[in-house]
Amino acid sequence: MKVIPGEKPTLLQTKVSRRKLLGGAAAAAVVLAEAPFASAVQAAVTQAELTDPTKIPGVPPGQVGTRSAFEKLVKKPSDISSRTPLQDLFGTITPSDLHFERNHNGVPAIDPAKHELVIHGMVEKSLVLTLADLKRFPSVSRICFLECSGNFRSGSEKLSPQDICGLTSQSEWTGVMLSTIFRQVGVNPKATWFLAEGSDAAVMTRSIPIQKGWDDAMIVYAQNGEAIRPEQGYPFRLFLPGYEGNMSIKWLRRIELSDAPYMTREETSKYTEPVKDGKIRYFSFDIDARSIITFPAYPAQVQKGWIEIRGIAWSGRGKVQQVEISTDAGKSWNPAQLSGPVLDKAHTGFRYLWQWDGRETEIQSRVTDETGYQQPTYKALAAARGSKGGYHFNPITGWVLKPDGRVLLRNG
Amino acid sequence: MNAVFKITLSILILGWASGFGSFSKPSSGGVFTSDTIFNFGRLATPADIQRWDIDIRPDGKGLPKGSGTAQKGKSIFAQKCAACHGVTGVEGPNDRLVSTDSSQGKAIGNYWPYATTVFDYIRRAMPFNQPGTLTDEEVYSLTAFLLEANRVIKPGTELNAQTLPAVQMPALKRYILDDRRGGPIIR
């Protein structure tokens, strides 16, 4: 097989020898599968896929499922985080292995049989709970987004939804309500905060208002039907619906009830926003409502005619009430359809059918949540904050459709 | 302690440990009532708590015995920190730790609101490649070195559980609580 540099290889640029074919379906041949707009990647494709699939028995059932070798779904890692490929996903559940990652000193290896959670401080009785203990409590499952508050990028027209805002993902989380645990330990009524601490090399800590613990906080041990992944806090993590991701402490090892916050590094030096007049805003827990069009978006290539504009919208303060679409750079707006069910503090799908005439234009989406908060333009947000980015930066995203079908990010 | 009380106590403890004891109303219809006590897990011993209870509050709660000075901190910093933060805490390649005015990026001197956080963070998370290896004395000295370099404390100040929480950080006055609660306003 020969690939000429600079030339796009086709999927079946290789001839599979008759002998290999006779070797059986389980034997794998290697072909070049082309990922859209990426350089050609080598992927193992079974022989069944190289010929008429109705003329050869397929691969027998296996222990775990596999993604088609024709699908190239990858997170985008940096030293400190890894981003969900929002533009490649459908619906609102993020496959667990594509859930974004942000950690402060790597993913720890934890043996669940040796891992313990200590709950102490302003309680009647301090407890030690293991994963097995947590699983015995009444369980709750809930679909929620989780977003890092540092989820904003700009600066190039060649940025994808993954680049701009890939630090948000959604899962069905299963675990025990923290309020159930609070009742076991008997929280002192004078306690107003609790500290959550992780068992990673950053020994991550955050202070959380006690009311969140009573309202809807959970300790979760499962994600999308299976144990949560090491990257997500295995064997269990705190989960705070609607709050900035950093507070949902992973690899949870300790909860301490207190009558004051701790002012940890992660709630002072980091995860605070410089705002107007030289002020620094702290304890900004709620994720502000945001939406993004994930199709069409860079690096998609589109054709004139019918286009279903699709995306996701969410708010840390409740439900998405409305998503509007503009196909004229924000001059006029029309309601998009929400793909139900519309859940509290959850990514909500939206779609808007539109006929593109092929002339250059810019499409945008904006969400309004149930508190009446409407996602601002970049200009309005930058002016209100006196900054051009930073934590909790959630402006409207605009995509420019070029007459040749390219879709590029509009910056500013 | 009388015998009856002793027996009751041991039944209670045993009950807790084995998860048998039920001190709460039985729940009905397969639904648990919010005040159900399950007796899962075990009671924490002082040792269970002590091994991990390393947090420090701005009021000094949690600070250990010991003390340190910038003079001692300087050589520890050169040895254990400078490779990543620069000899004077400015050069990097990792986070800048020293900054005396707001035009120089975010660092301890111009952005951190509490001095206790410096101690807490260094002790739990640094050095990045060997976290949790510093002694309390070393952490006091490194904290003193960094606070002095940021011109927050006077040269020669000894830091300990009493003096550290009393250190006033220049950035504290800039901190404002997030009071946004949704609604149409953009802030």
Hey, what domains does chain A have and what are their CATH numbers?
82-270 (3.90.420.10), 290-410 (2.60.40.650)
Could you tell me where the beta strands, DSSP code E, fall in A66-184? 76-77, 81-83, 101-102, 117-121, 127-129, 140-147, 168-177
Reading the block at residue B50, the tokens are 């002590």
8 Å CB contact of A260 and B43: no
Q: Give contacts of A380 with chain B, Cβ < 8 Å.
A: 186
What CA–CA distance (Å, rounded) separates B143 from B117?
10
Closest residue to A183, CB basis, from B35, B120, B131:
B35
pLDDT tens-digit readout, B87-126: 999 999 999 999 987 777 899 999 999 999 999 999 999 9
Q: Give contacts of A196 with chain B, Cβ < 8 Å.
A: none
Q: How close is the nearest chain A Cα to the Cα of B75, in Å?
A: 24
- Res A148: pLDDT: 98
C-alpha distances (whole Å) from A246 to each of A8, B180, B182 are 42, 19, 21
What CA–CA distance (Å, rounded) separates A305 from A307?
6
**Contact (Cβ atoms closer than 8 angstroms) between residue A315 and residue A288:** yes
Residues of chain A with pLDDT under 70: 1-49
* Complex prediction ipTM: 0.86
pLDDT tens-digit readout, A250-270: 999 999 999 999 999 999 999
Does the N-terminal peptide bond of residue A235 adopt cis geometry, omega within 30 degrees of 0?
Answer: yes
Q: Domain segments of chain B: what residues? A: 3-43, 67-174
pTM: 0.88
Rg (CA), chain A: 24
Neighbours of B184 (CB within 10 A): 9
- Res A106: pLDDT: 97
**Domain at B67-174: CATH code:** 1.10.760.10
Q: Which of residues 372-391 of A touch B (CB under 8 A)?
A: 372-374, 376, 380-381, 384-385
- Res B28: pLDDT: 52
| Closest residue on chain A to B97 (Cα) | A269
